[in-house]
Amino acid sequence: DTVAITGIVLLGESANPMRLASLALIVLGIIGLKLSTH
């Protein structure tokens, strides 16, 4: 949740679909990395 909030702030709180999609991919990537390390 914190990562998503930080990302939205860094992206200027834009509702741009491309930015939201990119943010979603980043969050999923981070989650994937965390799951793969356990």
How many whole angstroms separate alpha carbon 37 and alpha carbon 34?
A: 5
pLDDT at 13: 60
pLDDT for res 1: 67
pLDDT score of 12 = 63
Instruction: Indicate the pTM of the whole model.
Output: 0.51
d(CA 38, CA 34) in angstroms, rounded, equals: 7
pLDDT digits (tens, 9 = 90+) for 1-38: 677 777 667 766 666 778 778 888 998 999 999 999 88
Task: Determine the pLDDT at residue 33.
Answer: 92
Query: Which among 24, 19, 18, 34 has a CA at the least distance from the CA of 4?
Result: 24
Q: What is the pLDDT of residues 6-16, one digit of tens each?
A: 766 776 666 67
Region for residue 15 given its phi and psi (left: phi exceeds 0; alpha: psi -120 to 50; beta: otherwise): alpha
